[in-house]
Amino acid sequence: MLHLRGTVLPDGRRDLYVDAAGLISDSPLRGAEVVEAPFILPGLVDAHCHVGIGPSGPVDLAECEQQAITERDAGALLLRDCGSPTDTRPLQGRPDLPEIIRAARHLARPKRYVPGLAIDLDDPALLPAAVAEQAAAGDGWVKLVGDWIDRGVGDLAPLWPEDVLKSAIDAAHAAGARVTAHVFGTDALPGLIDAGIDCIEHGTGLTDELIASMAERGTALVPTLINVENFPGIADSAAKYPTYAEHMRGLYRTARDTIGKAIDAGVPVFAGTDAGGGIRHGRIADEVEALRHAGHPDPVGAASWTARRWLGRPVLEPGSRADLVVYREDPRENPAVLRDPVLVMIAGRTY
Ligand SMILES: [Zn+2]
């Protein structure tokens, strides 16, 4: 049993007790070992990462485990996996690893995503059935590739017709799952948002009108700003497609403003790194910093308590699992401390 002596965020109450079963107790536990814990946060959330993807594509389960350990050591104890070619279910329930909320496999169309990662549907009309299948295979989320370069067009273009999207998203909701989509540009967004999608990933092509629509509907946004830093590199490697390359450079130039407008308009914006391909795991602190620069009023909450509530997970309530992270200083005042947790705890055990 532990008595964590410090301030609990976000509510500022003093001290937490962790019982022998690794659960939070609201009343003092006699004989608990005292641990100095200046600022106690609900375990951080990486709301967009990929356990199962490395710099050169899919990785095996042993590498997945390493990725999860890297996230854990950075304090990220709840991972929303936005699509993985590797089945990471064997890692679930491991007491020493972060909880992974899996979106199962990405759904895309042939030649319209990073090779080897997605399930490619030859006919877009197959999407509703494929969504239902991934909803059953995942943990309450389904991931669509909303837009990607269409080499015939030479630019970003939507993957799915709008009527198909409506039935696909309805199918997910009927199965109790939420849907999110990878979207860099603008054209795929109206169809996805109007079809009732629950979240947009990246969202660099949002317009004022689309932002207003998301705010009204409560559609969430995970901008993965540290991955947007890769856009100029993507453009440089796409010299054969100059329109696309220029499009990506333009999206990069306006990204911080665009995401800032979404934040100002009241769109729920959460912290996700997109770790997996172009981003290494364990960088949640960098995304918090990027959200702060984009004007997020509570970037630490966006990577902890607010994100946990959005994902339906507890926030250090009595009886909930003691998944927490401790810092020397209040990260809301000094976000740099997020890079250096003094204690990471899963279910009452420290790592
Ligand atoms: Zn991603």
92-96, 199-203, 259-263: least confident range: 92-96
For residue 324, the CA-to-ligand 1 centroid distance in Å is 25
**Dihedral sign (CA 309, 226, 240, 242):** positive
- For 107-147, what is each residue's pLDDT tens digit? 999 999 999 999 999 999 999 999 999 999 999 999 999 99
Task: Give the confidence band of 190 by pLDDT, cuts at 50, 70, 90.
Answer: very high
Under 8 Å between Cβ of 242 and 248? no
CA distances from 349 to 38, 65, 318, 323, 325 (A): 18, 18, 17, 9, 11
Gap from CA of 86 to ligand 1 centroid (Å): 14
**For strand 343-346 and strand 349-350, is the pairing parallel, antiparallel, or unpaired?**
antiparallel
- Six-digit token pair at 236? 């440089």
Average pLDDT over residues 255-269: 98
Predicted pLDDT at 109: 98
pLDDT attached to residue 277: 86
- Ligand 1 centroid from CA 230, angstroms: 12
CA of 10 to the centre of ligand 1 (A): 28
pLDDT at 221 over 90: yes
Q: What pLDDT does 349 receive?
A: 96
Ligand 1 midpoint to CA 252 (Å): 17
pLDDT at 26 over 90: no
Tell me how far the alpha carbon of residue 278 lies from the centroid of ligand 1, in angstroms: 9
Confidence bin at 302 (pLDDT 50/70/90): very high
Span from the CA of 46 to the centroid of ligand 1 (angstroms): 11
Distance 53 CA to ligand 1 centre (A): 9
Ligand 1 centre to CA of 201 (Å) is 8
| Mean pLDDT value across residues 319-332 | 97
Give the span between the Cα atoms of 32 and 24, in whole angstroms: 12
Cα of 100 vs centre of ligand 1, distance in Å, is 15
How far is residue 104 CA from its own chain's centroid? 14
**pLDDT at residue 31 is higher than 90:** yes
User: For residue 49, how far is its CA from the centre of ligand 1 (angstroms)?
Assistant: 6
CA 13 – CA 173 distance, rounded (Å): 37
* 217 Cα–ligand 1 center, Å: 23
Cα within 13 Å of Cα(219), Cβ side: 27
Distance CA 36, CA 215 (A): 41
- Ligand 1 mean position to 274 CA, how many Å? 5
Ligand 1 centroid, distance to 224 Cα (angstroms) = 8
